[in-house]
Each structure stands twice: as structure tokens, then as C-alpha cells.
Structure 1
Amino acid sequence: MSTFLDPIDLFVFLISTVLTGSALTVLHQRRRKATHRLRELSSFRERSQSSEPVDGLTGLYDKILPRIAGRLLPANPSKRSTLQLRMYQAGFTSPASIYTFAIIRLMLAVLPFLVVSSCFASGFLSPKTLLMLSIAGAGVGFLTPSLWLDYRKRKRQQLFVRSLPDFFDLLTTCIESGLALEASVKRVSVELTHAHPVLAAELLRVDNQISLGTAPNDAFESFAERSDLDCLRSFASLIRQTRLTGASMGEALRVNAEMMRTQREQRAEESAQKASVMVMIPTLLLIFPTVFIALAGPAMIQLSEKFGASEAVSSEK
């Protein structure tokens, strides 16, 4: 009996190990996000009762993970800060998310080599093909998490763009009713919890920064950096200018809300105009060739039969 493992069994074992590790990492990350959200929405008494065992697991996770994945991150502090900012813009606010990203990127870069090596051990591939597929798979696996981060960032920005007009309308209403800017932000963050939970979570973070002594314009500038939206940068500049000049905050916010509503209508009209152009692509690629075959097919058959008969008569002569 052979003492070596069957290549197929080795391949199944490696795939199962990688998939299990990835699933556990994703589940733990989601659990940490849910725990963090519950801490923000719950009271101090509920936090003291329910978060003690989770704090132990989270603390152990935060201590072990940087030691394992710290060497996989860029050594340059500016590049590491840029990567951390990209994680924030994609919605991953935990400091440990950057280490999880590095481990997943390493696993996706190594996984193609393991798969190709298993096929090579089974005799399906040549050494040259093994090398080429390993390099190509490692490149794709290394770039895929970065592309996925960009995709998450775009989706998050779309959520913000759709929900910001409602935020500005509610904020204008609160300020014109007599509330201060700080109290208005807190009230609006509560009101938008169910309609726009992503924006409400960010507004809650802004409210916490303001409560800790940060100026409102600086807190919204930090929010603009986390979302990478020009409209929020303009809003932060608006708050700064109204505080410096003593202008009416409610009037300025009303103008800003009308501008955001107009921009949303323009984006909807632009999407409608693009839809009419995009419909032409399947029409030209799928419908038009079918219609052409249905119309010109019988004529082509008749022409081919006629020319075939004439060639046969000419050959007989």
C-alpha cells in the first residue's frame, strides 16, 4: 500500500482548509461589526452586561492578528495609512480590518498555486504551464481584494448620495425650528436609523466626535474623508464659513438641500438617458442578427441554389 497521499485527496483537503478559514474570518468580522453597532445603540448598562465575553475574544483577536499579518502590510507608514483610509471608505472601520485584508489577499494569492500544484501532481499539467498559471493566478488573487474594495467604496458612495438629500432636509428643518447644529445632527442620526442605517451610523460617529470637543466642520471633514464625497467637503466648508461670517445656518442649509435635490434629479435623468443608449447594445448584438438571418436567409439560399445550378450547367457543357 502506498504511503503517499492521493493528489485528489490533497487538493480537496487544501480547498476545504482555505474555504473554512475564509468563512470563519468573514463570520468573525461580521460578528465584530454587529457587536460594535450594538455598543453604539445600547446604553451603558446593556454594554456592561453583554459585552464582557466578547471584549475578551475581540482583545485576543486584536492582539494576535497584528503579529501575524503585520509583516504583510507596507512598511511605509503613508502607504499603510492610505490602505487604512481605503478600508474606512469601503465601510470597514475596525483597526483590525487592515490585517484581515492582508491575510485574505495572501490566501487568494497562494490558493491558485496550490490548485495548480495539485493538478501538476496528478500529471495534468506541464512544468511550464504550472509556472504560467501560478504567476497569473497569484496576480489575479493579489489584485482581486483591492478591486473588491473599490467596488464596496462605490456602492457605499451611492448609498450616501441617495440618502444625503434627506439628511439635509431634516437638518434644515431642525435648525430652522430652533435647535443648534450639534443637537440637530444627533436628532437626525436617530431619525434616519431605519431609513438610511449606513448614513445614520456615520452621523452617530460625527456626533460622538462633536461631543468629544471636535468642531462640527472638522467632524464633517473627517466624514468626507471616510466617504470621499465632494458634497460633504462642501458642506464642511459651508459650516466653517457660516460660523466665521455669522450668516444664517438655516438659509445656507436650505440652499444646499435644494442643490442636492437638483443634483439627484439630474443624476436620475442622466441614468434614464444612458438606459436608452444601453438598450441598443443587446438590440444590435442579439436582435438585429436574428432579423437579418430571417430576412436575408431565404434569399441567400435561393441565390446559392441558382448559382449552383448555373455552375452545374456550365460544367456539363
Structure 2
Amino acid sequence: MTLSPLVFAALIFALVVSISYAVLVRWLPDPGKERLAQLTPGRGSDHSTLWSRLQKRLLAWLLWLSPWTAAMSGGDEETPSALRVRFGHAAWRSPVALQIYFTCKTLLTLVLPLIAWALVEISPWHPQGLQRFLPLLVGAAVGYYLPDWILSILVSRRQRALLHAFPDALDLLRVCVQAGLGLDAAIERVGREIRQARPELSDEFALTGMALRAGSSRAQALRQLSVRIGLKDINALVSMLIQADRFGTSVSESLQVHSDALRTQRRLRAEEAAAKLPVKLLIPLIFCVFPSLLTVLLGPVVVTLARQLIKPVG
């Protein structure tokens, strides 16, 4: 008995998902164990050590392959600066991030078509003519655009976390400034205080503090913060702080006004998401819940009517 292509594809999908889940559960580090290992000196986690070792080997292997994929990047001078800015938005600050990115993109573009071709060959579905090249094209397209898609997801997730954390951080900055700290010292102090609750914003404040200690002007350090985050609301905040520092206006009042504005925008975004929820639930309700409910309610009635109307012969 031969399996249909749909059943075979479902089995392959279930197998891949099961193996991936098992690998992730087995090899991904546990944040709680990592935190406990950091707080307990002299006791490291074997899983964390193994995962770090695997990461180092994978990184070394990708860097070894990077000369063959350097043509895609076009060199440092010809590489679009927008891509490096997106790396900064995703907190990819490694100097070899660009090489690893293009290496992964090239490998996925070459390997995924081969996997798709192998799956087609072992499946009962054997396309003819130009259809034989369709899995190769789909695999190449997925491999080429998958790194861009992952990068976009990481950027949007990190920007949402930063935007959600900024109103509370601005309140802490205002308290520190009103207590007598300068803006530079307040930024570093707030960055240390929110390390556990808001690690993304804490990293950005730490980088800004290091830039200030390295000799950068306050305006330059704040502009670099705005470029690393890449949000319009943060650009407005940075411009306001630069203007307040230039003209000598009250920084605490400016921080209070902007934190209130950011908090209002956060509440409006939450209300907008809540208003969109019924529309998003409409399709699952119609195609998933309603047929099941209709079957449960009308199924016994249909069976009873069928028994009454269709009499047995003889």
C-alpha cells in the first residue's frame, strides 16, 4: 500500500517537528540554571558548557567558510550601511556578524534545495517536466530569505521590548536627576538598576555610559543610542535631551513630559491590539470552533432523523 503525498508530507512534518523539539529540549540552555551557575561560583553547568562549545565550533566553521561567501557581501566598503544598522537594532555587535550572516544565507540557499529534492525523490509524488524544478526553486527562495525574516523578527521583538521599557526608565532617570545626579551618571545608574527587569535597555544605557566615559560628547552618545535603537519615539526623546542640554532647560521636566507621552502611546497600542482581537478571532471561530459546535449540536439530531426516515428494507 502506497501513501498519498499529503499523508507522506504530514508524516515528514511530524517527524521533523518531533526531532527539532527533542533537540531543543535536550541542548538549549536553561536560563534558570545559567543564572544559578552565575550566582554559584565554581559550579558550572555541563549543558551550558557543552552548548558554548558547540557554538564556538559552529562559529569557527562558519568563519572558515566565509571567504567563499565574501563575494555576496561585496566587502566592507560596498556593503549597504542599512544592513549594519539592522544588525545594531538586533544587538548583533560582533565584528564577524556580517560574515556569519552571508555564510548562513549562502549555505541555506544551497542546502535547502538539495533537501527539497531528496524529499521529492523519496516521496510517491514524482513531478514531470518543469515541475521537477519547483521544489528546488522553493527551497532556494526559502533559504535566501530565511535569514532576512529571522533578522526582521529579532529586530521587531527587541524594539517592542525597548519601547515598552522606556517610560519606566524615563521615570527613574527623572528621579535620579531630581536627586542631584547629572544626566550621564543617571543613565549609568538606571542601566544598572534595570539590569534584571529590562536587559535590552540596560545594555543600551551601558553602551551610552561607556561612550560618555570614553570621551564622546553627550549629544554624540545620545545620537548613537538613537541609531542603535532605531525608533521614532526614541529619536524624538534624544532630540529633546540634546535641545535641553544645549539651551539649559530643565531636563527633569522634559523627561516627565516625554515619559507621559510614551506611556499614553503604550496604552493606546494596547487598546488598539484589544480592539483588533475580535476580528482576528473571527476566522478561527468560523472555520474551527463553529463546525465542531455544529457537529456536536446537530449530529445526534441528524442521526435520529436518518433512523426515522430511512427504514430498513425487509
Q: Give TM-score scaled by structure 1 length.
A: 0.69
CA distance in 2, matches of 1:187, 1:119: 56
What is the deviation of 1:69?
Answer: 3.5
What is the deviation of 1:270?
Answer: 2.2
Residue type of the partner of 1:153? V
What is the deviation of 1:201?
Answer: 1.0
Residue 254 of structure 1, aligned match among 256, 263, 270: 256
Query: Is the CA contact (8 Å cut-off) linking 1:87 and 1:93 kept in structure 2?
Result: yes
Partner of 1:172: 174
Name the SS of the counterpart of 2:80 in structure 1.
helix
Name the SS of the counterpart of 1:91 in structure 2.
coil
What is the deviation of 1:152?
Answer: 0.6
Query: Is the CA contact (8 Å cut-off) linking 1:69 and 1:100 kept in structure 2?
Result: no
What is the deviation of 1:153?
Answer: 0.6
Structure 1 pair 92–253 and aligned structure 2 pair: CA distance change class (3 A):
same
Q: Does 1:91 align with 2:85?
A: no
Partner of 1:283: 285
Residue type of the partner of 1:70? A
Partner of 2:141: 139
Matches within 5 A, 1:12-27: none
Residue 243 of structure 2, aligned match among 235, 241, 244: 241
What is the deviation of 1:64?
Answer: 5.5
CA distance in 2, matches of 1:119, 1:296: 40
Partner of 1:31: none
CA distance in 1, matches of 2:101, 2:255: 39
Q: Does 1:188 align with 2:190?
A: yes
CA distance in 2, matches of 1:138, 1:79: 22
Residue 222 of structure 2, aligned match among 217, 220, 233: 220
Q: Give the superposed CA RMSD.
A: 3.6
Residue type of the partner of 2:154? R
Residue type of the partner of 2:203? A
What is the deviation of 1:269?
Answer: 2.1
Query: Is the CA contact (8 Å cut-off) linking 1:220 and 1:236 kept in structure 2?
Result: yes
Partner of 1:8: none
What is the deviation of 1:227?
Answer: 1.8
Identity among equivalent pairs (%): 24
CA distance in 2, matches of 1:281, 1:116: 31
What is the deviation of 1:297?
Answer: 8.3
Name the SS of the counterpart of 1:277 in structure 2.
helix
Partner of 1:163: 165
Residue type of the partner of 1:181? L
Residue type of the partner of 1:83? L
Q: Give TM-score scaled by structure 2 length.
A: 0.69
Query: Is the CA contact (8 Å cut-off) linking 2:116 and 2:136 kept in structure 1?
Result: yes
The farther-off stretch of 130-139 and 176-185 is 130-139
What is the deviation of 1:244?
Answer: 2.4
Structure 1 pair 229–275 and aligned structure 2 pair: CA distance change class (3 A):
same
Residue type of the partner of 2:210? N
What is the number of residues matched between the two proteins?
A: 256
What is the deviation of 1:82?
Answer: 1.7
Query: Is the CA contact (8 Å cut-off) linking 2:63 and 2:99 kept in structure 1?
Result: no
Residue 206 of structure 1, aligned match among 205, 208, 217: 208
The farther-off stretch of 294-303 and 176-185 is 294-303
CA distance in 2, matches of 1:257, 1:236: 13
Structure 1 pair 268–179 and aligned structure 2 pair: CA distance change class (3 A):
same
Residue type of the partner of 2:250? S
What is the deviation of 1:159?
Answer: 1.0
Query: Is the CA contact (8 Å cut-off) linking 1:88 and 1:226 kept in structure 2?
Result: yes
Residue type of the partner of 2:169? F
What is the deviation of 1:162?
Answer: 1.6
Query: Is the CA contact (8 Å cut-off) linking 1:109 and 1:141 kept in structure 2?
Result: yes
CA distance in 2, matches of 1:265, 1:75: 44
Residue type of the partner of 1:156? R
Query: Is the CA contact (8 Å cut-off) linking 1:220 and 1:233 kept in structure 2?
Result: no
Structure 1 pair 285–123 and aligned structure 2 pair: CA distance change class (3 A):
closer
Partner of 1:71: 71
Largest Rg, 1 or 2: 1
CA distance in 1, matches of 2:132, 2:294: 45
Post-superposition, which runs of at least 4 consecutive aligned residues in structure 1 deviate over 6 A? 120-124
CA distance in 2, matches of 1:277, 1:77: 47
CA distance in 1, matches of 2:114, 2:167: 49
Structure 1 pair 225–300 and aligned structure 2 pair: CA distance change class (3 A):
farther
The farther-off stretch of 210-219 and 176-185 is 210-219
What is the deviation of 1:213?
Answer: 2.3
Name the SS of the counterpart of 1:220 in structure 2.
helix
Structure 1 pair 242–282 and aligned structure 2 pair: CA distance change class (3 A):
same
CA distance in 1, matches of 2:178, 2:217: 21
